[in-house]
Structure 1
Amino acid sequence: MKLKGVKKENLPEKVCPVCQRPFAWRKKWERNWNTVIYCSKKCGQAKRHLK
């Protein structure tokens, strides 16, 4: 996904299933944006503890 020159308000967003907050695309997720589920490591760990 090439997003060079895209304004911040036009970046793709997802909703975190743990905290229900929207989070936007980040450069570090450029190669695996399709597999990103949680907004942070904290939410990813919280989901594991809820099971």
Structure 2
Amino acid sequence: MARRGSGHTAKSAGKRGKGHLPVKTCAQCGRPFAWRKKWKAVWDEVRFCSERCRRRFPD
């Protein structure tokens, strides 16, 4: 029996990687971080890449 193609299915052909997501730079560590679904409603207010960086930032 012969193989068909490279193993990709029609379902996976339409999916995109994470390269299309918006990116910000963390105010504490300076590392870039990408948008997350849980930040959908507050993306404009997000300043830190993680809870750890948020706690370390001086008020």
TM-score interval (norm. to shorter): 0.7 to 0.9
Q: How many positions carry a matched residue from both structures?
A: 45
After TM superposition, where is structure 1 displaced by more than 3 Å over at least 4 residues in a row? Answer: none
Q: Give me the TM-score of the superposition, normalised by structure 1.
A: 0.77
For structure 1, which runs of at least 5 residues remain unmatched after alignment? none
Give aligned-pair identity as a percent.
44
Q: CA-atom RMSD, angstroms? A: 1.6
Q: Give me the TM-score of the superposition, normalised by structure 2.
A: 0.67
Q: Which amino acid aligns with 2:35?
A: W
Q: Which has the higher contact order (CA 8 A, sep 6+)?
A: 1
Within 5 A, what are the aligned runs for 1:1-51?
A: 7-48=17-58
For structure 2, which runs of at least 5 residues remain unmatched after alignment? 1-14
Q: Which is greater in Rg?
A: 2
